[in-house]
Chains A and B, each alone.
Chain A
Amino acid sequence: MFIFTEASEARIKKILAKYPEDRKLSAILPLLTLAQEQEGYITPEAMIEVGKRLDVSPAYVESVCSFYTMYYTKPVGKYIVKFCINISCHLNGCDNLLEYTEKKLGIKEGETTPDKKFTLLKEECLAACCEAPVMQVNNKYHVNLTPDKVDQVLASCP
């Protein structure tokens, strides 16, 4: 069973207050995000719970959830390393950098390290094109990357 923590409940209250009372479905993304923050990824039980809160079927929640790329429905690492691979980063050598990072972490794109610390993903344009190449580790941007900088960032992940 999935239960929102007390801290989450307080935030849910605030989130719901943003939308008209009969439009609470608007809170579906924020609620899924909260659920994901709590457990690292979104379980079917969490979808059932979110559905109950918003008065929609769990299938509906799964349908919405699966549309957006930032929700994970399988366990992921503690840190999610997302490499932008779109055009501006591509023109600035992100392919090599991604390969470098794959070697460094010993995993391929889409995989998680055995110690469950890092998950490495490709990402479409992150809107930091003028500072390419770019990656995001969890929610934080790291720009103007070089192999050295990648090393530093990864090393700074406790």
Chain B
Amino acid sequence: MTLILFKDIDTPGLTSIDVYEKTLEGYQALKKAFAMKPDEVIEMVKASGLRGRGGAGFPTGLKWSFLAKDVFPRYLACNADESEPGTCKDRELLMKNPHLLIEGMILCSYACRIETGYNYMRGEFWEYESVMEKALEEAYEKGYLGKNIMGSGFNLEIHNHMGAGAYICGEESAMLSSLEGERGEPRMKPPFPAVKGLYGQPTIVNNVETLCVLPFIVRNGAAAYAAIGTEKSKGTKLVSVSGHVKKPGNYEVPLGTPIIDLIEKYAGGIRDGNKLKAFIPGGSSVPILPASKADVPYDYESLQAAGSMLGSGALIVMDDTTNVVSEILRITSFYMHESCGKCTPCREGTRWMYQILSEIQNKVGKPEQLDLLIDICDNMEFKCFCPLGDAAVAPVVSSIEHFREDYEELLGSLKTGQPVGTT
């Protein structure tokens, strides 16, 4: 099968521009793109069917076409904040193939007539900052960045920008706040970044993986990309398979690959001879599913139909030794920790849920608390300032729906012990 993102990813020295050029037709897409009008590149990306890989799955070409007309300067902000629990695909790209991202950023910038791009990397990625910095230097040296790139008249500057530890900065508007030097709190939408983004100017925010697909599309044409995957979910997807599997790892698969194949064929199956119990298909923000849904094809539509989402492409696998409640407690604690605190339902709700789940986990909970949890979720869902609140709700509601017995097991037993009120 065709590898687009991970083709020769483990080639030694791939982070250097020479190896990249030799091994992967590196920067060849630029010539092709510069021969086209920017709008033609946008049309091409639209035709490819590429959808954003950061989590929302929004059609990339369409997003680009929303840029406020004739307003300049425009900015590109590459979302390399990768912080969604279970997700580690962007890190692998950044670490092993920085030039692929740079090439993708150049293509996006050319199509969108952007002259300045920032690569917002999560603060913990300091090790890879130097990799990126070196790659950028090389690209400037070779004339792929800077003024009048390859004689096209197109100028582009790309800078790295490091975050400093905040999951919410992966949310695009919070990322822009952070990039502007503010607290990483999300902003009101509308206006959307494409209209008023960084520094109040039209801005494209795309995920690392999304941008890394662009060189392939430009080189091989929209059709070549659209030929892969399903009718509505085109192309390949990097899936981070983690948890109770024998060979956890990032795997590039055509969209539509059955989940069971990801677990069995790619990740080597459930380890220690145990059985599959549950999986979260798209990172901690999406509903958890039971083993019975393992034959669902891994694509946007099928997962939605199954009651979950593809999200950031992180498949977290749990075997039958797991009590789901303790994992949901972990995730809830994460959201409590990462809630920016700006809006009331998210700030208060995540903590309240954490308190209740802790009691249940510690076997001092009460059966009524399940209904209470569901009602708290109902009061939060779609009512918070940004989608983080909804993300916090999804695992709780879905786990009660699919794994009520795990809760009941904890609720039905012991009734003694200390209540855990505060953290």
Asked whether any CB of A lies within 8 Å of a CB of B in the complex, the reply is yes
Report which A residues bind B (CB closer than 8 A). 18-20, 23, 25-30, 32-33, 54, 63-64, 67-71, 85-88, 90-92, 123-132, 136, 139-141
Q: Within 8 Å of chain A (Cβ to Cβ): is B391?
A: no
In the complex, how many angstroms separate the beta carbon of B362 from the nearest chain A beta carbon? 15
Q: Which residue of B lies closest to A139 (CB)?
A: B126
Binary A-proximity of B84-97 (CB < 8 A = 1, otherwise 0):
11111011000000
- A71 B86 Cβ-Cβ under 8 A: no
Interface residue B167 (Cβ < 8 Å from any Cβ of A)? yes
Known: A18-B161, A70-B164, A70-B165. Contact between A124 and B334, CB under 8 A?
yes
Q: In whole angstroms, what is the CA distance A122 to B241 when docked?
A: 23
Q: How far is the CB of B272 from chain A (nearest CB, A)?
A: 12
Residues of A within 8 A of B114 (CB): none
- Interface size of B in residues (CB-CB distance below 8 Å): 55
Q: Are A26 and B327 closer than 8 Å at their CB atoms?
A: no
Once bound together, how far apart are the Cα atoms of A85 and B337, in whole Å? 12
Interface string of B102-134 (1 = CB under 8 A from A): 000000000000000010001111110000000
- Which residues of the other chain, A, contact B387 by a CB distance below 8 angstroms? none
A128→B86 CA distance, assembly (Å): 8
User: Among B179-187, B294-302, B406-414, which stretch is in contact with chain A?
Assistant: B179-187
A145 to chain B, nearest CB (A): 13
Q: Give Cα A124 to B335, complex, Å.
A: 10
Contact B87 A124 (CB under 8 A): no
Given contacts A29-B163, A64-B182, A90-B330, contact A20 B199 (CB under 8 A): yes
Most chain B CB atoms below 10 A, which of A30, A125, A127: A127
Whether the Cβ atoms of A140 and B127 lie closer than 8 Å is: yes
Among B88, B178, B318, B327, which residue has the most Cβ atoms of chain A within 10 A?
B88
Partner of B86, one of A26, A123, A129: A129
Check A25/B83 contact, CB under 8 A, given A127-B88, A129-B248: no
Interface residues of B in 294-338 (CB under 8 A from A): 314, 316, 318, 322, 326-327, 330-331, 334, 337-338
| A126 CA / B87 CA spacing, docked (Å) | 9
Q: Which residues of A contact B90 (CB under 8 A)?
A: 127
* Docked CA distance A124–B318 (Å): 19
Report the minimum CB–CB distance from A59 to chain B (whole Å).
Answer: 12
Instruction: Flag if A91 contacts B241 (CB, 8 Å).
Output: no
What residues on A are CB-neighbors of B184 within 8 Å?
Answer: 67-68
Most chain B CB inside 10 Å of its own CB: which residue of A86, A91, A130: A130
Residue B392 lies at the interface, judged by CB distance under 8 Å to chain A: no
B244 within 8 A of A: yes
User: B161 and A125: CB pair below 8 A?
Assistant: no
The 8 A CB mask of B231-256 against A (1 = contact, 0 = none) is 00000000011111000111000000
A127 touches B181 (CB 8 A): no
Question: Which one of A30, A63, A70 lies within 8 Å of B124 (CB-CB)?
Answer: A70
Tell me the bound Cα distance from A18 to B119 in angstroms.
11
A67-B183, A124-B337 are known contacts. Are A131 and B248 too (CB-CB below 8 A)? yes
Q: Considering only CB atoms, which chain B residue lies closest to A63 in the complex?
A: B183
Expressed in whole angstroms, the Cα–Cα distance for A129 and B249 within the complex equals: 8
Min Cβ gap A3→B in Å is 22
**Interface-centre pick from A18, A29, A54, A92 (highest chain B CB count, 10 A):** A29
